[in-house]
Chains A and B, each alone.
Chain A
Amino acid sequence: MQRRDFLRVMGAGAAVVAVNPSTIGQTLYADNGQLYKAYEKVQLVKTDGSPVKAGDLEVEKTYVFNYPHAATPCFLINLADKADSEVSLKSEDGEEYVWSGAIGKNQSVVAYTAICPHQLTHANKVDSFISYVPKNKTTMAYKEGGVIVCGSHLSAYDPRRGAANLSGPAPQPLASIVLEHAADDTIWAVAVLGADKFHDYFKSFRSEFKEQWGGKRKAKKLVSISVPTVALTEYTKEVIQY
């Protein structure tokens, strides 16, 4: 290929990606692109700095990492079953987007923001009223386990289907974290898909950010290179489930 042709192909490719970033993953897209926001690609690591591997994640155990901001908590869960793929979801504003599916050998590893879009209940260092309820447990929020539940007002989300709403007052699914699964089984967070509510979140918990993160500015800082990933029970002092 001539240098000019090569540059032409590369330029056209870049333009396509710029117009529709989800072209990269081929399956992630939204009406106006606002529901897909790419951030720095960061690796999920353990507290000792070694990489988290998808195959090592305990089934139905909830892990937490902060992404894309220092204080925006996200759940990482290896579900008991293979997740669905190509799930159509709708934001509060009525914009449609598609959740492509889970990663890992069994297509069961998912990640979602641990911030309920209803009234922004979230996991923090003191407590978490939002959590994953394993399949063999019961919840007041839904007829069966295997769901993410916000205990504040009993909204339930389906982690197998892009955190689609199952019950309760939440107006939209949890935003999902787009993960990349490398050949060496490591996991990388690359983007947020869905309406994330981060803007409202950072406006609403000034005192908490001051107390737990040293201020809103530090809480809002974007993460870089890698993020520690720990069990929810280590991340927070108390998990409250209803």
Chain B
Amino acid sequence: MKKIVLILAMTLLVTSSFADEKKARISDMKHMADGMGLIMNGLLYNYLDNVDEGVKYIKEGVDSIKSKGDLKSYLPADTAYAYKFGEKSLRRIVEYANEVDEAMKAKDYDAALESSALLMRQCSSCHSRVRGW
């Protein structure tokens, strides 16, 4: 009986741990997606403050992912092996977010639009690898 209880407890623990990781991942991704939405909205309707806010969201999302430590355990189990690709994607996302930021400061809105497209592509590049289409 004790063994059964122990196995059940362990199973619950592992399941809840996976569920927590997934929840954290969804929360980070949602924050970054909101950021991307703000950037797009800002560039589309000339709400320049939205662009700045969007860049902030994106970088907060990246920081949040990094704060969780090892990306290998952060990614879904079946694509955890691609953690180096994920790390590189995060670096590129920050680069492109910074480029959007710099272009906005320089009031070069065309360049901001170009960098935001690259930012979007980098996000989907990682998603297509980690989640598949």
Contact = CB atoms under 8 A, between A and B. Distances in A.
Interface of A: 119, 127, 129, 151-153, 203-204, 206-208, 240, 242
Contacts, number: 25
A206 B106 CA distance: 16
A153 B125 contact: yes
Given A152-B125, A242-B81, A242-B82, A204 B118 contact: yes
B129 A153 contact: yes
Interface of B: 81-82, 84-85, 88, 95-96, 98-99, 114, 118, 121, 125, 128-129
A206 B115 CA distance: 10
Contact of A152 (B85, B114, B118): B85
B95 A208 contact: yes
B85 A129 contact: yes
A174 to B, nearest CB: 18
Nearest to A154: B129
Contacts of B98: 207
10 contacts: A119-B121, A119-B125, A153-B128, A153-B129, A204-B118, A207-B96, A207-B98, A207-B99, A208-B95, A242-B81
Interface pairs A-B: 9 shortest CB-CB: A207-B95, A240-B84, A119-B125, A204-B118, A153-B129, A152-B85, A206-B99, A207-B99, A153-B128
Given A207-B95, A207-B96, A208-B95, 13 more contacts: A119-B121, A119-B125, A127-B84, A127-B88, A151-B85, A152-B125, A153-B125, A153-B128, A206-B99, A207-B98, A240-B84, A242-B81, A242-B82
